[in-house]
Amino acid sequence: MPALDNLQMDIAFLASLIGLLLVWGNFLLVIIFTGRVIMKRLPVGASLSWLIILLLFPYVGVGLYILFGERYLGSKRRRRQESLLSSYQQVKMDGEALQVRLLDRIHNGGQALANYELSTTGLPAIGGNTIQFLSHAEDTIHAMVADIDRATEYCHLEFYIWHPGGNADLVADALVRAKERGVVCRVMLDAVGSQTFFRSHLSRLLRKHQIPVIKACPIGFIPWRLARYDLRNHRKMMVIDGKVGYIGSFNLIDPRYFKQDQGVGEWIDVMARIEGPSVRVIDGVYRWYWNIEAGDRLPLSPATIEPNDSAAVIQAAPSGPDVEKESILNSLLQAIYSAKHEILIVTPYFVPGEVLSQALRIAARRGVKVSLILPKRVDSFLVRYASRSYFEELLQAGVRIFQYDQGLLHTKCVLIDGKLSFFGTVNMDLRSLWLNFEMTLIVYDSQTTEVLKEIVEGYIQDSIPLDAEAWEQRSLRKRFVENVMHLFSPLI
Protein backbone atom coordinates (compact mmCIF):
# COMPACT_ATOMS: atom_id res chain seq x y z
CA MET A 1 0.00 0.00 0.00
CA PRO A 2 2.96 2.41 -0.31
CA ALA A 3 1.42 4.00 -3.41
CA LEU A 4 -1.81 4.73 -1.52
CA ASP A 5 0.13 6.17 1.40
CA ASN A 6 2.11 8.39 -0.97
CA LEU A 7 -1.13 9.59 -2.61
CA GLN A 8 -2.62 10.44 0.76
CA MET A 9 0.54 12.31 1.70
CA ASP A 10 0.42 14.22 -1.60
CA ILE A 11 -3.24 15.13 -1.05
CA ALA A 12 -2.50 16.23 2.51
CA PHE A 13 0.45 18.32 1.32
CA LEU A 14 -1.65 19.90 -1.46
CA ALA A 15 -4.48 20.69 0.96
CA SER A 16 -2.00 22.19 3.38
CA LEU A 17 -0.45 24.27 0.59
CA ILE A 18 -3.87 25.51 -0.59
CA GLY A 19 -4.84 26.38 2.98
CA LEU A 20 -1.61 28.28 3.45
CA LEU A 21 -2.09 30.16 0.18
CA LEU A 22 -5.66 31.05 1.18
CA VAL A 23 -4.51 32.37 4.56
CA TRP A 24 -1.71 34.45 3.06
CA GLY A 25 -3.95 35.55 0.19
CA ASN A 26 -6.56 36.82 2.62
CA PHE A 27 -3.85 38.48 4.73
CA LEU A 28 -2.51 40.29 1.66
CA LEU A 29 -6.00 41.41 0.58
CA VAL A 30 -6.80 42.65 4.09
CA ILE A 31 -3.58 44.70 4.10
CA ILE A 32 -4.35 46.17 0.66
CA PHE A 33 -7.96 47.05 1.44
CA THR A 34 -7.14 48.30 4.94
CA GLY A 35 -4.80 50.75 3.28
CA ARG A 36 -7.55 51.72 0.84
CA VAL A 37 -10.05 52.32 3.65
CA ILE A 38 -7.53 54.51 5.45
CA MET A 39 -6.65 56.52 2.33
CA LYS A 40 -10.31 57.06 1.38
CA ARG A 41 -10.89 58.98 4.63
CA LEU A 42 -14.46 57.77 5.08
CA PRO A 43 -16.30 58.93 8.21
CA VAL A 44 -14.47 57.43 11.18
CA GLY A 45 -17.37 55.18 12.18
CA ALA A 46 -17.69 53.82 8.64
CA SER A 47 -13.94 53.24 8.40
CA LEU A 48 -13.84 51.31 11.67
CA SER A 49 -16.86 49.24 10.67
CA TRP A 50 -15.22 48.27 7.38
CA LEU A 51 -11.98 47.36 9.15
CA ILE A 52 -13.93 45.06 11.48
CA ILE A 53 -15.66 43.40 8.51
CA LEU A 54 -12.37 42.95 6.65
CA LEU A 55 -10.79 41.28 9.68
CA LEU A 56 -13.70 39.09 10.75
CA PHE A 57 -14.87 37.75 7.38
CA PRO A 58 -12.06 36.28 5.23
CA TYR A 59 -12.52 37.07 1.53
CA VAL A 60 -16.21 37.85 2.10
CA GLY A 61 -15.28 41.15 3.76
CA VAL A 62 -13.15 42.11 0.76
CA GLY A 63 -15.99 41.22 -1.60
CA LEU A 64 -18.45 43.30 0.42
CA TYR A 65 -16.10 46.26 0.38
CA ILE A 66 -15.66 46.03 -3.40
CA LEU A 67 -19.44 46.05 -3.84
CA PHE A 68 -20.46 48.53 -1.13
CA GLY A 69 -17.41 50.27 0.29
CA GLU A 70 -16.99 53.32 -1.91
CA ARG A 71 -19.31 55.86 -3.52
CA TYR A 72 -18.37 54.96 -7.09
CA LEU A 73 -21.08 55.83 -9.61
CA GLY A 74 -19.80 53.95 -12.63
CA SER A 75 -17.85 54.87 -15.73
CA LYS A 76 -20.82 55.54 -18.03
CA ARG A 77 -22.50 57.83 -15.54
CA ARG A 78 -19.26 59.67 -14.85
CA ARG A 79 -18.69 60.33 -18.56
CA ARG A 80 -22.22 61.65 -19.01
CA GLN A 81 -21.93 63.87 -15.95
CA GLU A 82 -18.63 65.33 -17.16
CA SER A 83 -20.13 66.10 -20.56
CA LEU A 84 -22.90 68.12 -18.88
CA LEU A 85 -20.70 70.14 -16.52
CA SER A 86 -20.73 73.28 -18.65
CA SER A 87 -24.52 73.55 -18.41
CA TYR A 88 -24.34 72.95 -14.66
CA GLN A 89 -21.76 75.73 -14.26
CA GLN A 90 -24.22 78.12 -15.91
CA VAL A 91 -26.86 77.07 -13.40
CA LYS A 92 -24.44 77.90 -10.57
CA MET A 93 -23.84 81.36 -12.04
CA ASP A 94 -27.60 81.94 -12.26
CA GLY A 95 -27.92 80.81 -8.65
CA GLU A 96 -25.56 83.53 -7.41
CA ALA A 97 -27.75 86.16 -9.05
CA LEU A 98 -31.02 84.75 -7.69
CA GLN A 99 -29.96 84.09 -4.08
CA VAL A 100 -32.01 85.88 -1.39
CA ARG A 101 -29.61 87.81 0.87
CA LEU A 102 -31.83 88.81 3.82
CA LEU A 103 -32.68 85.48 5.41
CA ASP A 104 -31.45 86.35 8.91
CA ARG A 105 -34.66 88.35 9.28
CA ILE A 106 -36.47 85.00 9.28
CA HIS A 107 -34.03 83.01 11.44
CA ASN A 108 -30.66 83.92 12.87
CA GLY A 109 -28.96 81.02 11.07
CA GLY A 110 -30.89 81.32 7.83
CA GLN A 111 -28.44 83.24 5.68
CA ALA A 112 -25.43 81.13 6.65
CA LEU A 113 -27.40 77.98 5.84
CA ALA A 114 -28.57 79.32 2.49
CA ASN A 115 -25.05 80.44 1.58
CA TYR A 116 -23.64 77.02 2.43
CA GLU A 117 -26.18 75.23 0.25
CA LEU A 118 -25.58 77.69 -2.59
CA SER A 119 -21.84 77.08 -2.46
CA THR A 120 -22.40 73.31 -2.39
CA THR A 121 -25.05 72.80 -5.06
CA GLY A 122 -25.26 76.14 -6.85
CA LEU A 123 -29.01 76.28 -6.18
CA PRO A 124 -30.39 79.51 -4.68
CA ALA A 125 -32.96 80.31 -2.02
CA ILE A 126 -35.83 82.03 -3.87
CA GLY A 127 -39.01 83.62 -2.53
CA GLY A 128 -42.49 84.05 -3.93
CA ASN A 129 -43.61 80.46 -3.41
CA THR A 130 -46.66 78.86 -1.85
CA ILE A 131 -46.64 75.43 -0.19
CA GLN A 132 -49.56 73.15 0.61
CA PHE A 133 -48.92 70.06 2.73
CA LEU A 134 -50.91 66.95 1.83
CA SER A 135 -50.94 64.47 4.72
CA HIS A 136 -53.29 61.76 3.42
CA ALA A 137 -52.37 59.34 0.66
CA GLU A 138 -55.74 59.59 -1.09
CA ASP A 139 -55.61 63.40 -1.11
CA THR A 140 -52.06 63.33 -2.46
CA ILE A 141 -52.90 60.95 -5.31
CA HIS A 142 -56.00 62.90 -6.34
CA ALA A 143 -54.10 66.21 -6.25
CA MET A 144 -51.36 64.75 -8.44
CA VAL A 145 -53.90 63.35 -10.90
CA ALA A 146 -55.71 66.71 -11.07
CA ASP A 147 -52.46 68.55 -11.83
CA ILE A 148 -51.46 66.00 -14.48
CA ASP A 149 -54.89 66.43 -16.06
CA ARG A 150 -54.24 70.21 -16.23
CA ALA A 151 -50.78 69.82 -17.80
CA THR A 152 -50.23 71.44 -21.20
CA GLU A 153 -46.46 71.04 -21.74
CA TYR A 154 -44.81 68.29 -19.69
CA CYS A 155 -45.04 66.00 -16.67
CA HIS A 156 -41.81 64.94 -14.96
CA LEU A 157 -42.00 62.15 -12.35
CA GLU A 158 -39.18 60.75 -10.22
CA PHE A 159 -39.90 58.19 -7.49
CA TYR A 160 -38.09 55.57 -5.48
CA ILE A 161 -41.12 53.28 -5.39
CA TRP A 162 -44.10 53.01 -7.69
CA HIS A 163 -46.08 50.03 -6.48
CA PRO A 164 -49.04 48.92 -8.61
CA GLY A 165 -52.45 48.58 -7.01
CA GLY A 166 -55.27 50.75 -5.71
CA ASN A 167 -55.15 54.50 -6.15
CA ALA A 168 -51.53 54.45 -7.33
CA ASP A 169 -52.79 53.18 -10.70
CA LEU A 170 -54.71 56.43 -11.20
CA VAL A 171 -51.44 58.27 -11.84
CA ALA A 172 -50.63 56.00 -14.78
CA ASP A 173 -54.10 56.58 -16.25
CA ALA A 174 -53.62 60.35 -15.90
CA LEU A 175 -50.26 60.17 -17.68
CA VAL A 176 -51.84 58.28 -20.57
CA ARG A 177 -54.53 60.97 -20.87
CA ALA A 178 -51.84 63.66 -20.81
CA LYS A 179 -49.84 61.89 -23.50
CA GLU A 180 -52.94 61.67 -25.70
CA ARG A 181 -53.31 65.48 -25.38
CA GLY A 182 -49.76 65.95 -26.64
CA VAL A 183 -48.12 66.52 -23.24
CA VAL A 184 -44.53 65.23 -22.93
CA CYS A 185 -44.35 62.74 -20.04
CA ARG A 186 -41.14 61.41 -18.54
CA VAL A 187 -40.92 58.89 -15.68
CA MET A 188 -37.75 58.01 -13.77
CA LEU A 189 -37.95 55.24 -11.16
CA ASP A 190 -35.32 53.59 -9.01
CA ALA A 191 -34.34 50.24 -10.50
CA VAL A 192 -34.54 48.42 -7.14
CA GLY A 193 -37.28 50.29 -5.31
CA SER A 194 -39.65 50.01 -8.28
CA GLN A 195 -38.68 46.55 -9.49
CA THR A 196 -42.27 45.35 -9.01
CA PHE A 197 -43.51 48.17 -11.22
CA PHE A 198 -41.19 47.25 -14.10
CA ARG A 199 -42.77 43.78 -14.19
CA SER A 200 -46.33 45.08 -13.92
CA HIS A 201 -49.19 45.98 -16.23
CA LEU A 202 -48.58 49.67 -15.47
CA SER A 203 -45.14 49.54 -17.05
CA ARG A 204 -46.58 47.88 -20.14
CA LEU A 205 -49.38 50.46 -20.26
CA LEU A 206 -47.00 53.43 -20.24
CA ARG A 207 -44.67 51.91 -22.80
CA LYS A 208 -47.65 51.06 -25.03
CA HIS A 209 -48.45 54.77 -25.12
CA GLN A 210 -44.78 55.63 -25.75
CA ILE A 211 -44.22 57.26 -22.37
CA PRO A 212 -40.53 56.80 -21.55
CA VAL A 213 -39.91 55.07 -18.23
CA ILE A 214 -36.23 54.78 -17.28
CA LYS A 215 -34.47 52.95 -14.48
CA ALA A 216 -32.43 55.21 -12.20
CA CYS A 217 -29.29 53.57 -10.81
CA PRO A 218 -29.77 50.38 -12.85
CA ILE A 219 -28.38 47.11 -11.58
CA GLY A 220 -25.86 45.37 -13.83
CA PHE A 221 -23.55 42.38 -13.66
CA ILE A 222 -20.23 44.21 -13.93
CA PRO A 223 -19.58 46.07 -10.67
CA TRP A 224 -16.92 48.43 -12.03
CA ARG A 225 -19.36 49.67 -14.68
CA LEU A 226 -22.41 49.65 -12.45
CA ALA A 227 -20.82 51.32 -9.42
CA ARG A 228 -22.02 50.41 -5.96
CA TYR A 229 -25.06 48.18 -5.95
CA ASP A 230 -26.71 49.99 -3.06
CA LEU A 231 -26.51 53.60 -4.30
CA ARG A 232 -30.22 54.24 -4.82
CA ASN A 233 -32.37 57.09 -6.11
CA HIS A 234 -34.56 57.72 -3.08
CA ARG A 235 -36.32 60.85 -4.36
CA LYS A 236 -40.07 61.37 -4.60
CA MET A 237 -40.94 64.34 -6.78
CA MET A 238 -43.08 65.53 -9.65
CA VAL A 239 -43.06 68.70 -11.77
CA ILE A 240 -45.91 69.86 -14.02
CA ASP A 241 -45.13 72.48 -16.70
CA GLY A 242 -42.52 74.11 -14.44
CA LYS A 243 -45.42 75.63 -12.48
CA VAL A 244 -46.42 72.99 -9.92
CA GLY A 245 -44.05 70.74 -8.02
CA TYR A 246 -44.38 67.93 -5.50
CA ILE A 247 -41.69 66.83 -3.05
CA GLY A 248 -41.96 64.74 0.09
CA SER A 249 -41.82 61.28 1.58
CA PHE A 250 -44.72 59.83 -0.40
CA ASN A 251 -43.94 57.02 -2.85
CA LEU A 252 -46.49 56.22 -5.55
CA ILE A 253 -48.27 53.62 -3.46
CA ASP A 254 -51.67 52.96 -1.99
CA PRO A 255 -50.91 52.29 1.73
CA ARG A 256 -53.80 49.83 1.88
CA TYR A 257 -51.95 47.49 -0.50
CA PHE A 258 -48.31 48.15 0.31
CA LYS A 259 -46.23 45.92 2.64
CA GLN A 260 -49.22 44.92 4.70
CA ASP A 261 -47.52 41.64 5.65
CA GLN A 262 -44.74 43.28 7.67
CA GLY A 263 -46.70 44.11 10.78
CA VAL A 264 -46.00 47.87 10.79
CA GLY A 265 -49.39 49.15 9.66
CA GLU A 266 -50.08 51.59 6.86
CA TRP A 267 -47.36 54.04 5.85
CA ILE A 268 -47.98 57.64 6.95
CA ASP A 269 -46.55 60.33 4.66
CA VAL A 270 -46.70 64.02 3.79
CA MET A 271 -46.21 65.58 0.36
CA ALA A 272 -45.60 69.28 -0.33
CA ARG A 273 -47.35 70.83 -3.32
CA ILE A 274 -45.40 73.89 -4.42
CA GLU A 275 -46.20 76.76 -6.75
CA GLY A 276 -43.79 79.57 -7.57
CA PRO A 277 -40.36 80.24 -9.07
CA SER A 278 -38.63 77.51 -7.05
CA VAL A 279 -40.53 74.90 -9.06
CA ARG A 280 -38.32 75.69 -12.07
CA VAL A 281 -35.23 75.12 -9.93
CA ILE A 282 -36.62 71.77 -8.82
CA ASP A 283 -37.34 70.94 -12.46
CA GLY A 284 -33.74 71.82 -13.30
CA VAL A 285 -32.59 69.18 -10.80
CA TYR A 286 -34.90 66.64 -12.40
CA ARG A 287 -33.58 67.47 -15.89
CA TRP A 288 -29.96 67.15 -14.76
CA TYR A 289 -30.49 63.61 -13.48
CA TRP A 290 -32.72 62.65 -16.40
CA ASN A 291 -29.95 63.71 -18.79
CA ILE A 292 -27.42 61.59 -16.92
CA GLU A 293 -29.60 58.48 -16.68
CA ALA A 294 -31.14 58.74 -20.18
CA GLY A 295 -28.20 60.24 -22.06
CA ASP A 296 -30.45 63.15 -23.07
CA ARG A 297 -29.78 66.90 -23.46
CA LEU A 298 -32.75 68.67 -21.90
CA PRO A 299 -32.03 72.35 -21.09
CA LEU A 300 -31.53 72.75 -17.34
CA SER A 301 -32.41 76.30 -16.42
CA PRO A 302 -35.15 78.35 -18.11
CA ALA A 303 -34.30 82.05 -18.41
CA THR A 304 -37.65 83.07 -16.92
CA ILE A 305 -36.70 82.83 -13.21
CA GLU A 306 -36.61 86.27 -11.60
CA PRO A 307 -35.10 87.23 -8.21
CA ASN A 308 -37.75 87.25 -5.50
CA ASP A 309 -37.30 87.76 -1.76
CA SER A 310 -40.93 87.58 -0.66
CA ALA A 311 -42.35 84.64 1.32
CA ALA A 312 -42.12 81.73 1.16
CA VAL A 313 -38.41 81.41 0.49
CA ILE A 314 -37.44 77.90 -0.62
CA GLN A 315 -34.10 76.33 -1.41
CA ALA A 316 -33.93 72.99 -3.20
CA ALA A 317 -31.15 70.88 -1.67
CA PRO A 318 -30.40 67.76 -3.72
CA SER A 319 -27.90 65.41 -2.15
CA GLY A 320 -26.20 62.17 -3.05
CA PRO A 321 -22.91 60.53 -3.87
CA ASP A 322 -22.34 62.98 -6.74
CA VAL A 323 -22.70 66.08 -4.53
CA GLU A 324 -20.12 67.38 -2.09
CA LYS A 325 -19.43 64.84 0.63
CA GLU A 326 -21.97 64.97 3.48
CA SER A 327 -23.57 68.17 2.14
CA ILE A 328 -27.08 67.67 3.59
CA LEU A 329 -25.61 66.42 6.88
CA ASN A 330 -23.58 69.62 7.18
CA SER A 331 -26.68 71.71 6.44
CA LEU A 332 -28.60 69.91 9.18
CA LEU A 333 -25.75 70.44 11.62
CA GLN A 334 -25.64 74.14 10.74
CA ALA A 335 -29.37 74.45 11.45
CA ILE A 336 -29.25 72.43 14.69
CA TYR A 337 -26.41 74.50 16.09
CA SER A 338 -28.28 77.70 15.21
CA ALA A 339 -31.44 76.62 17.09
CA LYS A 340 -32.38 78.74 20.09
CA HIS A 341 -35.68 77.32 21.34
CA GLU A 342 -36.96 74.13 19.70
CA ILE A 343 -35.98 71.33 17.35
CA LEU A 344 -38.60 68.87 16.08
CA ILE A 345 -37.44 65.86 14.05
CA VAL A 346 -39.68 63.31 12.34
CA THR A 347 -38.01 60.36 10.63
CA PRO A 348 -38.84 56.68 10.11
CA TYR A 349 -35.22 55.52 10.16
CA PHE A 350 -33.05 57.05 12.87
CA VAL A 351 -29.42 55.97 12.83
CA PRO A 352 -27.79 59.40 13.10
CA GLY A 353 -24.14 58.58 13.65
CA GLU A 354 -22.00 60.18 16.31
CA VAL A 355 -21.76 63.68 14.86
CA LEU A 356 -25.49 64.26 14.47
CA SER A 357 -26.28 62.51 17.74
CA GLN A 358 -23.78 64.73 19.54
CA ALA A 359 -25.29 67.86 17.97
CA LEU A 360 -28.73 66.90 19.31
CA ARG A 361 -27.35 66.17 22.78
CA ILE A 362 -25.51 69.50 22.86
CA ALA A 363 -28.65 71.35 21.76
CA ALA A 364 -30.68 69.71 24.53
CA ARG A 365 -28.05 70.48 27.18
CA ARG A 366 -27.95 74.15 26.21
CA GLY A 367 -31.69 74.46 26.79
CA VAL A 368 -33.18 73.79 23.36
CA LYS A 369 -36.33 71.66 23.48
CA VAL A 370 -35.38 68.70 21.26
CA SER A 371 -38.04 66.16 20.28
CA LEU A 372 -37.72 63.05 18.11
CA ILE A 373 -40.88 61.52 16.67
CA LEU A 374 -40.16 58.00 15.40
CA PRO A 375 -42.35 55.04 14.45
CA LYS A 376 -42.66 52.42 17.18
CA ARG A 377 -42.31 49.66 14.57
CA VAL A 378 -40.13 49.79 11.44
CA ASP A 379 -39.72 47.33 8.58
CA SER A 380 -36.03 46.63 9.21
CA PHE A 381 -34.55 44.54 12.04
CA LEU A 382 -31.11 46.15 11.63
CA VAL A 383 -32.44 49.71 11.72
CA ARG A 384 -34.71 48.94 14.67
CA TYR A 385 -31.86 47.91 16.95
CA ALA A 386 -29.25 50.30 15.57
CA SER A 387 -31.69 53.15 16.18
CA ARG A 388 -32.37 52.10 19.76
CA SER A 389 -28.64 52.04 20.51
CA TYR A 390 -28.73 55.86 20.49
CA PHE A 391 -31.76 56.31 22.73
CA GLU A 392 -30.16 56.09 26.17
CA GLU A 393 -27.58 58.83 25.73
CA LEU A 394 -30.14 61.09 24.03
CA LEU A 395 -32.65 60.60 26.84
CA GLN A 396 -29.97 61.30 29.43
CA ALA A 397 -29.18 64.60 27.66
CA GLY A 398 -32.83 65.65 27.84
CA VAL A 399 -33.98 64.78 24.33
CA ARG A 400 -37.63 63.72 24.25
CA ILE A 401 -38.41 60.62 22.16
CA PHE A 402 -41.94 59.87 21.01
CA GLN A 403 -42.88 56.53 19.44
CA TYR A 404 -45.68 56.83 16.90
CA ASP A 405 -48.10 53.92 17.19
CA GLN A 406 -50.62 54.42 14.36
CA GLY A 407 -48.62 52.93 11.48
CA LEU A 408 -45.18 53.33 9.95
CA LEU A 409 -44.55 57.06 10.23
CA HIS A 410 -42.63 57.68 7.00
CA THR A 411 -42.59 61.51 7.00
CA LYS A 412 -39.16 63.17 7.10
CA CYS A 413 -38.79 66.73 8.40
CA VAL A 414 -36.77 68.91 10.76
CA LEU A 415 -38.23 72.09 12.25
CA ILE A 416 -36.03 74.76 13.83
CA ASP A 417 -37.58 77.33 16.21
CA GLY A 418 -40.86 77.31 14.26
CA LYS A 419 -39.23 79.45 11.55
CA LEU A 420 -37.00 77.21 9.47
CA SER A 421 -37.74 73.71 8.20
CA PHE A 422 -36.24 70.85 6.23
CA PHE A 423 -38.73 68.70 4.38
CA GLY A 424 -38.29 65.97 1.81
CA THR A 425 -36.86 62.49 1.39
CA VAL A 426 -33.85 62.42 3.74
CA ASN A 427 -33.96 60.01 6.67
CA MET A 428 -31.83 60.53 9.75
CA ASP A 429 -29.50 57.69 8.91
CA LEU A 430 -26.07 57.72 7.33
CA ARG A 431 -27.24 55.85 4.23
CA SER A 432 -29.72 58.61 3.45
CA LEU A 433 -27.40 61.43 4.52
CA TRP A 434 -24.38 60.14 2.65
CA LEU A 435 -25.21 57.54 0.00
CA ASN A 436 -28.68 57.85 -1.52
CA PHE A 437 -29.82 60.42 -4.06
CA GLU A 438 -32.22 62.57 -2.03
CA MET A 439 -34.13 65.83 -2.35
CA THR A 440 -34.81 68.22 0.51
CA LEU A 441 -36.67 71.51 0.59
CA ILE A 442 -35.23 74.05 3.00
CA VAL A 443 -38.07 76.43 3.83
CA TYR A 444 -37.22 79.84 5.25
CA ASP A 445 -40.71 80.89 6.31
CA SER A 446 -42.39 80.88 9.71
CA GLN A 447 -45.98 80.59 8.43
CA THR A 448 -45.20 77.52 6.32
CA THR A 449 -43.16 75.98 9.12
CA GLU A 450 -46.05 76.52 11.55
CA VAL A 451 -48.41 74.61 9.23
CA LEU A 452 -45.92 71.74 9.15
CA LYS A 453 -45.57 71.97 12.92
CA GLU A 454 -49.31 71.40 13.34
CA ILE A 455 -48.95 68.13 11.42
CA VAL A 456 -46.01 67.11 13.61
CA GLU A 457 -47.91 67.92 16.79
CA GLY A 458 -50.67 65.64 15.54
CA TYR A 459 -48.08 62.85 15.30
CA ILE A 460 -47.00 63.55 18.88
CA GLN A 461 -50.59 63.21 20.08
CA ASP A 462 -50.70 59.74 18.50
CA SER A 463 -47.36 58.75 20.03
CA ILE A 464 -46.15 57.22 23.27
CA PRO A 465 -43.39 59.17 25.05
CA LEU A 466 -40.39 57.04 25.92
CA ASP A 467 -39.65 57.07 29.64
CA ALA A 468 -35.93 57.31 30.42
CA GLU A 469 -36.11 55.25 33.62
CA ALA A 470 -38.19 52.52 32.03
CA TRP A 471 -35.84 52.41 29.04
CA GLU A 472 -32.87 51.77 31.32
CA GLN A 473 -34.61 48.63 32.63
CA ARG A 474 -34.62 46.82 29.27
CA SER A 475 -33.02 43.39 29.21
CA LEU A 476 -29.32 42.65 28.85
CA ARG A 477 -30.07 40.70 25.67
CA LYS A 478 -31.62 43.75 24.02
CA ARG A 479 -28.72 45.94 25.12
CA PHE A 480 -26.24 43.50 23.63
CA VAL A 481 -28.05 43.33 20.27
CA GLU A 482 -28.32 47.13 20.19
CA ASN A 483 -24.61 47.54 20.86
CA VAL A 484 -23.68 45.02 18.18
CA MET A 485 -25.87 46.88 15.67
CA HIS A 486 -24.33 50.14 16.85
CA LEU A 487 -20.91 48.93 15.67
CA PHE A 488 -22.26 48.57 12.15
CA SER A 489 -24.63 51.56 12.22
CA PRO A 490 -22.38 53.68 9.95
CA LEU A 491 -23.01 51.13 7.19
CA ILE A 492 -26.77 50.63 7.68
In a domain, 322, yes or no: no
Confidence tier at 71 by pLDDT (50, 70, 90): low
Domain boundary among 68, 88, 104: 68
Residues 334 and 425 in one domain: yes
Domain boundary among 314, 336, 357: 314
Residues 115 and 171 in one domain: yes
| Res 193: pLDDT | 93
Residues 297 and 336 in one domain: no
Per the CB < 8 A criterion, the answer to whether 234 and 208 are in contact is: no
State the catalytic residue, choosing from 412, 419, 445, 486.
Answer: 412
Q: Is the pLDDT assigned to residue 224 strictly greater than 50?
A: no
State the catalytic residue, choosing from 156, 236, 376, 419.
Answer: 236
In a domain, 319, yes or no: no
| Res 105: pLDDT | 87
State the catalytic residue, choosing from 156, 163, 234, 486.
Answer: 234
| Res 229: pLDDT | 65
Per the CB < 8 A criterion, the answer to whether 243 and 208 are in contact is: no
Residues 418 and 298 in one domain: no
State the catalytic residue, choosing from 107, 376, 410, 419.
Answer: 410
Residues 37 and 9 in one domain: yes
Q: Active site includes 215?
A: no
In a domain, 321, yes or no: no
Tens of pLDDT, residue by residue over 367-398, are 999 999 999 988 877 888 888 999 999 999 99
Confidence tier at 147 by pLDDT (50, 70, 90): very high
Query: CATH code at 380?
Result: 3.30.870.10
CB atoms within 10 A of CB 251: 24
Confidence tier at 226 by pLDDT (50, 70, 90): very low
Residues 62 and 109 in one domain: no
| Res 38: pLDDT | 77
Q: Is the pLDDT assigned to residue 445 strictly greater than 90?
A: yes
| Res 34: pLDDT | 81
| Res 472: pLDDT | 86
Residues 299 and 397 in one domain: no
Amino acid at 391: F
Strand order in the sheet with 244-248: 130-134, 271-275, 244-248, 236-240, 154-159, 184-190, 213-216
Residues 94 and 209 in one domain: yes
- In whole angstroms, give the CA distance from residue 316 to residue 443: 9
Q: Is the pLDDT assigned to residue 225 strictly greater than 80?
A: no
In a domain, 106, yes or no: yes
Sort strands 213-216 and 236-240 into parallel, antiparallel or unpaired.
unpaired
Domain boundary among 68, 89, 115: 68
State the catalytic residue, choosing from 190, 283, 417, 429.
Answer: 417
Tens of pLDDT, residue by residue over 120-144, are 888 999 999 999 999 999 999 999 9
Residues 402 and 298 in one domain: no
Residues 310 and 333 in one domain: no
Q: Active site includes 136?
A: no
Q: Active site includes 412?
A: yes
Q: Active site includes 417?
A: yes
Distances (CA, A) of 491 to 6, 352, 420, 437: 50, 11, 30, 16
Q: Active site includes 163?
A: no
- In the chain, pLDDT over 90 holds for what percent of residues? 56
Q: Rounded to two decimals, what is the model's pTM? A: 0.87
pLDDT average, residue stretch 198-209: 95
Backbone angles phi, psi at 473, to 5 degrees: -90, 5
Q: How many domains does the chain have?
A: 3
Residues 408 and 264 in one domain: no
Q: Active site includes 139?
A: no
In a domain, 320, yes or no: no
| Res 276: pLDDT | 94
Higher pLDDT, 271 or 377: 271
Per the CB < 8 A criterion, the answer to whether 143 and 273 are in contact is: yes
Residues 137 and 188 in one domain: yes
Confidence tier at 309 by pLDDT (50, 70, 90): confident
The CB-based long-range contact list for 196-205 (8 Å cut-off, 24+ gap) reads 196/163, 196/164, 197/161, 197/162, 197/163, 197/164, 200/164, 201/164, 202/162, 202/164, 202/169, 202/172, 205/172, 205/176
Q: Is the pLDDT assigned to residue 260 strictly greater than 70?
A: yes
Domain that holds residue 220: 75-314
State the catalytic residue, choosing from 76, 142, 149, 241.
Answer: 241
